[in-house]
C-alpha cells in the first residue's frame, strides 16, 4: 500500500478520473473489459442480478452484462453515488480497475463480499504485482490514484479469508465464489 501521506485528495482523485474517456460505444474499451466479462458471464445463470462497483464516468461493464440478459445496478462514489444499491445482495459483483484505489482494502473487500449472495461471484480486475523486486519500476504504481497493490498470493490469502473458491484468469482477473 502506498504511504497515505502521498494519497491524492478526493478532489484531485476525481479530477484524475474525469480524464478517462471510457464509454459503451468504445470497442477498444469493451475488448479490455472482456477480460473480466467473458469468464464471469460464462459462470452466471440467465438473468442474474449484478452490481458493477466502481462503474466510473462511462459505465460500460454494466451495459455489457445487461446486453447479455442480466439485471444490473451500478455504484461509483464519484459518478453514481447510490448508497441504496449497497443495501442489497447480488448474484455477482464486479470491481474492474477498482481495488487498486482502495484506501482501506480490508474493510472495502469485506463490504464487497457482503454484497454477494450465497454461491454468488465477486469478479476483480486489477494488475497484479508479479515480482516484488520490480515494484519500483512497475508502471501501474505510477498512477497517483493507485494506492493498494495485490499479488496472486494476496488473492489466494483473501480467498481463504473469505472462505471462497478463487479462479485466476489471465494476468489481471480473479473470480471468487462463495463456498
**Pair 148, 1: CB distance under 8 Å:** yes
- Domain harbouring 23, CATH code: 3.40.50.150
Domain holding 134, by residue range, is: 4-178
pLDDT at 19 over 90: no
Model pLDDT for residues 137-168, shown as the tens digit of each residue: 888 888 888 989 999 999 999 999 999 999 99
pLDDT band at residue 135, thresholds of 50, 70 and 90?
A: confident
Q: What is the structure's pLDDT at 21?
A: 81
**Pair 167, 43: CB distance under 8 Å:** no
Residues 102, 99: Cα–Cα separation, whole Å: 5
pLDDT at 84 over 90: yes
What is the reported pTM?
Answer: 0.94
Mean of pLDDT over the chain: 94
**Pair 89, 111: CB distance under 8 Å:** no
Q: What is the structure's pLDDT at 111?
A: 96
Model pLDDT for residues 46-80, shown as the tens digit of each residue: 999 999 999 999 999 999 999 999 999 999 999 99
Number of domains the chain contains? 1
Phi-psi sector, 163: left (phi>0), alpha (psi -120 to 50), beta = left
Taking alpha carbons only, the member of 159, 48, 136 closest to residue 93 is 48
pLDDT at 176 over 90: yes
List phi, psi (to 5°) of 127. Answer: -65, 140
- Which neighbouring-strand residues pair with 160? none
Q: What is the structure's pLDDT at 132?
A: 79
**Pair 85, 116: CB distance under 8 Å:** no
Taking alpha carbons only, the member of 125, 132, 109 closest to residue 170 is 125
Q: What is the structure's pLDDT at 105?
A: 95
Amino acid at each position: 500500500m502506498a504511504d497515505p501521506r502521498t494519497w491524492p485528495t478526493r478532489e484531485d482523485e476525481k479530477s484524475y478520473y474525469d480524464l478517462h474517456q471510457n464509454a459503451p460505444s468504445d470497442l477498444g474499451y469493451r475488448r479490455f473489459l472482456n477480460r473480466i466479462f467473458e469468464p464471469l458471464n460464462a459462470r452466471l445463470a440467465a438473468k442474474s442480478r449484478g452490481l458493477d462497483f466502481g462503474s466510473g464516468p462511462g459505465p460500460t461493464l454494466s451495459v455489457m452484462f445487461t446486453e447479455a440478459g442480466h439485471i444490473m445496478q451500478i455504484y461509483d462514489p464519484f459518478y453514481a453515488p447510490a448508497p441504496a444499491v449497497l443495501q442489497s445482495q447480488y448474484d455477482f459483483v464486479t470491481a474492474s480497475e477498482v481495488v487498486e484505489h482502495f484506501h482501506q482494502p480490508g474493510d472495502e473487500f469485506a463490504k464487497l463480499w457482503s454484497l454477494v449472495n450465497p454461491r454468488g461471484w465477486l469478479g476483480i480486475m486489477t494488475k497484479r504485482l508479479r515480482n516484488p523486486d520490480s515494484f519500483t519500476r512497475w508502471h501501474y504504481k505510477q498512477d497517483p490514484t493507485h494506492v493498494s497493490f495485490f499479488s496472486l498470493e494476496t488473492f489466494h490469502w483473501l480467498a481463504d479469508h473469505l472462505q471462497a473458491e478463487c479462479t485466476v484468469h489471465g494476468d489481471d482477473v480473479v473470480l471468487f465464489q462463495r463456498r
